Chains A and B, each alone.
Chain A
Amino acid sequence: MEYESVIGLEIHVELDTESKMFCACSTRFGERPNTQTCPVCLGMPGSLPVANKKAIEYVIRSGLAVGCEISLYSQFHRKNYFYPDMPKDYQISQYDRPLCLAGSIDLDMETYETRLGITRIHLEEDTGKLIHIGGAGRIVGAEYSLVDFNRAGVPLMEIVSEPDMRTPEEAKAYARKLRAILISIGVSDCNMDKGSMRVDANISIRPKGATELGVKAELKNLNSFRSLQRALAYEIERQKKAIAEGEPIMQETRHWDETKGTTSTLRTKEYAHDYRYFPDPDLVPMEFDPTWIEGIRATLRELPDERKQRFITHYGLPAHDASLLTETKAMGDFFEETVTLYKGDPKAVSNWMLGDISYYLNTENLEIDETAVTPKHLAELLKLMDKGTISGKIAKEIFPEMFDTGKLPQIIVEEKGMTQISDESEIEKIIDMVLEENASAVREYHEGKERAFGFLVGQAMRLTKGRGNPQLINRLLREKLQG
């Protein structure tokens, strides 16, 4: 039987506020344990939470950026559960009155375009961090655990998608696009390594064409876009196999093991009503003035899709280039700064960024703003090529050193004596040598074998150690052979 997969994502994003959601503790990352706590985020009796206005504004801004309806009336609820990561034994979250409803994200999947729905966006507080002692650091088998409440109470936005995705690739593209949007509107750095963006995936399969949903598994511990895609692909195959063998699919949470490349049962999914949500009596409802919301809309920065359009019309880039360059804010910014400094053809900048630079970033698993290379480096490199100081080949050679050392291309060129030889008399001398040493190739050329010409060019380049100006070599060689 042919199956299709049904995928929905729940994405948690820590908002980039200075202070926590319901108290004035700092949200700084990486501080010593339990240095950022107070009676509110420690759940001391009698302490009272007060909601952070900026966090609410950020959620609304996010909602507007993905076309959500903004609720004019919203409320916080208590989600009750026992787990040592929350000192109150409940998490302040939202239930039936989330801040944003019904949005969507448009995806360009190369061969087709699709629109994926967003069910809701709500605001809650992050939990504390647990460190398990014994049992190799895993909760199962640990002897006891240590709790750091620095993160408890950090504003956390949850974006719940519709189960609209049909392939792991769509899920990955959706998560990437959402990340690009959230970074560009400045609500979060969405750093997956630091956990400021966390992706959980719900996945079920059903016979193709069926309308009823299958039993879903929730996948956790997806720490990168790559693991999201891999875990989904694995889970689809696992569920297909289970059905083929007549085993029931359980509604459960499964843990992705990146090293093994498999998922395994984590714990049986608690049903939503077990959380006994009820309105938090300590937090009064929110009612928004539509003009305030319009004010937030007015502060929205350019969204990735709009930027892509501008890259096409303003810089004359192909849609494919524009898509890739606007995927992250850092890439787009790098491109624009380079074009400004370079003042040359934007497509040349794009070619370098999507070629050598992207290759290097992928290999090293870095973002462009995490490297030593700046727009100034690339602009200078392009200028040196335009002036004929270096050839494209040399540019590619000095590129890795630029990345490793952060030295400007001009410096590297001088240090290594890599300047292009564009002096006619010097090239002429070299060509004379080549012709003398390769009489048979010269003969072949005169017999009409064009390949021999390429060989002779290669020999000239070899003698100049790649520094000869290729256009000049071509022209002079042709003249000499014909003359």
Chain B
Amino acid sequence: MAISEKEVKHVAWLARLGLTDAEVEKFTRQLDVILEHAGKISSLDLAQIPPTSHAIPLKNVLREDRVGTCLTPEDALSNAPKTEDQAFAVPRIV
């Protein structure tokens, strides 16, 4: 196995996903297949190949430091379930 149920539970916790035991079992199996498949790459000699973090051969896409238009606070807050004093109100954090 390339991944354990314990690791799947940990990753699920990090992503704030609540999984049932059946889901943990199912995803462990699925992730194992994916990791095993991706693991095939390790069998190749890739010492000279840089990691492919981006699929397109672009670099240095930068913008000049200029201020543009912002949303109005009303628009910015329009999707918020709860607001107060022109701010997003969020539930208790800890």
Contacts and interface: CB of A to CB of B under 8 A. Distances in A.
Say if A and B assemble together. Answer: yes
Interface of A: 17-19, 23-26, 32-39, 42, 50-56, 75, 80, 82-84, 130-133, 139-140, 142-149, 267, 274, 276, 278-279, 281, 283-287
B49 interface: no
A275 to B, nearest CB: 9
Given A38-B68, A130-B93, 9 more contacts: A19-B68, A24-B68, A33-B87, A34-B88, A53-B63, A54-B65, A140-B94, A146-B84, A285-B53
A285 B56 CA distance: 10
A315 to B, nearest CB: 37
B90 A147 contact: yes
B41 interface: no
16 contacts: A24-B69, A34-B88, A37-B71, A38-B69, A38-B70, A51-B63, A52-B62, A53-B62, A53-B64, A84-B90, A144-B92, A146-B84, A147-B87, A284-B59, A285-B59, A287-B60
B40 interface: no
B86 interface: yes
B76 A42 contact: yes
B92 A143 contact: yes
Nearest to A36: B70
B63 A144 contact: no
B65 A52 contact: yes
Nearest to B88: A147
B77 A34 contact: yes
B37 interface: no
B89 A18 contact: no
Interface in B2-41: 14, 16
Contacts of B1: none
Contacts of B73: 32-35, 37
B45 interface: no
B67 interface: yes
A54 B64 contact: yes
A202 B68 CA distance: 39
Contacts of B94: 139-140, 267
Contacts of A130: 93
B86 A33 contact: yes
List the 4 closest A-B pairs by CB distance, nearest first.
A24-B68, A279-B53, A54-B65, A146-B87
Contacts of A278: 53
Nearest to A35: B73
Nearest to B85: A146
A18 B61 contact: no
Contacts of A84: 88, 90, 93
Contacts of A143: 92
A37 B76 contact: yes
A56 B93 CA distance: 33
A143 B67 CA distance: 36
A56 B65 CA distance: 10
Nearest to B52: A279
Given A35-B70, A284-B54, A284-B56, A80 B14 contact: yes
Contacts of A50: 61-63
B47 interface: no
A145 B93 contact: yes
Given A144-B91, A147-B88, A286 B53 contact: no
A281 B54 contact: yes
B53 A37 contact: no
B52 to A, nearest CB: 10
A36 B51 CA distance: 36
Tell me which of B60, B65, B68, B70 has the highest count of chain A C-beta atoms within 10 A of its own C-beta.
B65
Tell me which of B70, B72, B91 has the highest count of chain A C-beta atoms within 10 A of its own C-beta.
B70
A53 B64 CA distance: 6
A285 B94 CA distance: 37
Nearest to A278: B53
Nearest to B73: A34
